[in-house]
Structure 1
């Protein structure tokens, strides 16, 4: 049995731990030959791959990023490198030329959507969920998310000391285009006074009044908001458009917009500052939780391959590794509902949610 592995979309902590787990489990379980496809689906189109063996992957569990490289603008069904045309035939030729029996695709919503299309073409494929946004349908926890939350929590703790020392309103902008899980958990872990999410638009006047109360009570205010957060009736804050990307919108700058809104409401006597965490949330070594979760997912994916149960994605539900149909995941997002336990907990703690 010859298995190909690729990592698509953005990088995040835990990808290498999955590569390690899938490779070792397949070698130990059935003596499989394993090939790493470089730079995600781009490797299928440009014939870039290399062999993986036990010696190659054993030391990867704590290493950040992905040793295979990744790419988020190489959808074989709509490849901008070829004018936006369907190049999936080139990808199928690659699999046939290298006699690859099955494909393990590790990635987020875009990767799972592409994987599901390949499954419909008859490619034996297994998906492994990866997204620091934690927004894949049918999956309660993605590896990389815990590591990102840890970065946000630490940043809030560090900025709180400056906010307290200077009597300022400090704003921290996290990742989270359409789902606010990072801002929600990171904000709770970091003791934010206000948490603003894409799913629940905020009212600038309400937020400003809340900040005045916090300034009066404790002398400072700490705000955690996702990059996709926006005021009621307002649009997303778009930094740039990248037409060659599966999601052409690049968000960023909502913290600066909120700063101007609050300055207008609070007056010149209140200092407001903002910090954009950006890609530091995706970098570095994975937390212990993410290393274990990535390992569990990798072993579960290898098990599905050996049982020939294709067209599935491994997932975490109720702290159990299960598998779900790729068709149930593709094109769907897991958003933060108003009545989620963490939202209710935040309200009970007096956190402003907009």
Structure 2
């Protein structure tokens, strides 16, 4: 069994389906196999800033019911860079030392962080500064974490987006409308290209491939000539206007987020083709719902593998899925890249082969 350890686990960044399955797998492997203690840190690094640190001991009985639950039982945050943390008076403060002190106050031997590339980069910086033995697990609905073929949460998000297209097919055909589905994806179009193919979209727009409105309208007019008086389009929220401007909306407290490209396109498609056009924005529904079997499986595999890394003394590593197996890679290799959709990838070639318009 080796020496008994006390390991911490936290979820960081945006939530997604499958996080609880990963936490559950970590607890089962650490407690059941190695007889270690697992401490769940609440609200990510904010829990480590609190005094005393906000955390709870996790056991298998506690985590077992969470396998099918979305979100994260530990809570998370995607705000407040710990090295430049926004303070109430409008200034920023380096609070990294407080987080590191919180980790050591908990008496932890190692830390598992579940996050995307941004979270992993910040956690790795904290780990290097504070002498923390750190292991990463990739999660993001955007699937933009480099080196791994899968990240926790992506499959569920694609399933939800595909279901959205499935439902829009019928109402589009009934009213001879162009239906636009706007999906998440930050700066990568993985959700849009995957769901667009699976859901039978006629038009897929992703930020990696420039488009022209004339090409989009041409596709719609072509379908109209064929007697197909409706069309289905899916667009990633990160797609810009035809002239390259970012489309954002206010979410309060001075923050702005991607959103609105669907309505931008709808107005112009209607003016160009005369087609009645409607927009559906899926938004955060892509983060919720029951995790898909594949996300539960991926999360379980990653959770077990992350604990084994700690058992073998392998730190500053992230678990990945490559070629049907778990492969561990240095976190430095992960955060130095960004995995967008390759315009020459198999999925893009497949979309073109199916006659789907990509706007170019």
TM-score for the superposition, normalised by structure 1: 0.95
Q: In the alignment, which residue of structure 2 is the partner of 1:181?
A: 190
**1:90-105 equivalences in 2 (<5 Å):** 90-105=98-113
Local SS of the residue matching 1:178: coil
Q: Can you give the 5+ residue segments of structure 2 that lack an aligned partner in the other structure?
A: none
2:25 and 2:304 in contact (8 A); partners too: yes
Correspondence 1:343 to 2:348:
yes
Local SS of the residue matching 1:58: helix
Deviation at 1:29, TM superposition (A): 2.2
Q: In the alignment, which residue of structure 1 is the partner of 2:320?
A: 315
Local SS of the residue matching 2:111: strand
Deviation at 1:230, TM superposition (A): 2.1
Distance 2:92 2:185 in 1: 27
Q: In the alignment, which residue of structure 2 is the partner of 1:237?
A: 247
* Aligned match for 1:52, one of 43, 55, 58: 58
Deviation at 1:16, TM superposition (A): 0.1
Distance 1:249 1:230 in 2: 15
Deviation at 1:110, TM superposition (A): 1.7
Query: Residue 243 and residue 7 in structure 1: after superposition, are their counterparts in 2 closer, same or farther (change >3 A)?
Result: same
Q: In the alignment, which residue of structure 2 is the partner of 1:41?
A: 45
**1:1-354 equivalences in 2 (<5 Å):** 1-46=5-50, 47-81=53-87, 83-121=91-129, 122-217=131-226, 218-240=228-250, 249-267=256-274, 270-330=275-335, 332-354=337-359
Deviation at 1:304, TM superposition (A): 0.5
Deviation at 1:232, TM superposition (A): 3.9
Distance 1:84 1:320 in 2: 42
Distance 2:86 2:224 in 1: 50
Distance 1:286 1:165 in 2: 32
The aligned length equals: 349
Local SS of the residue matching 2:278: strand
Q: Can you give the 5+ residue segments of structure 1 that lack an aligned partner in the other structure?
A: none
Local SS of the residue matching 1:295: helix
Distance 1:74 1:36 in 2: 20
Distance 1:193 1:131 in 2: 26
CA deviations 1:59-81 (Å, max 9, x no partner) are 22111110001111133222114
- What do you get for the CA RMSD once the two structures are aligned? 1.5
2:241 and 2:247 in contact (8 A); partners too: no
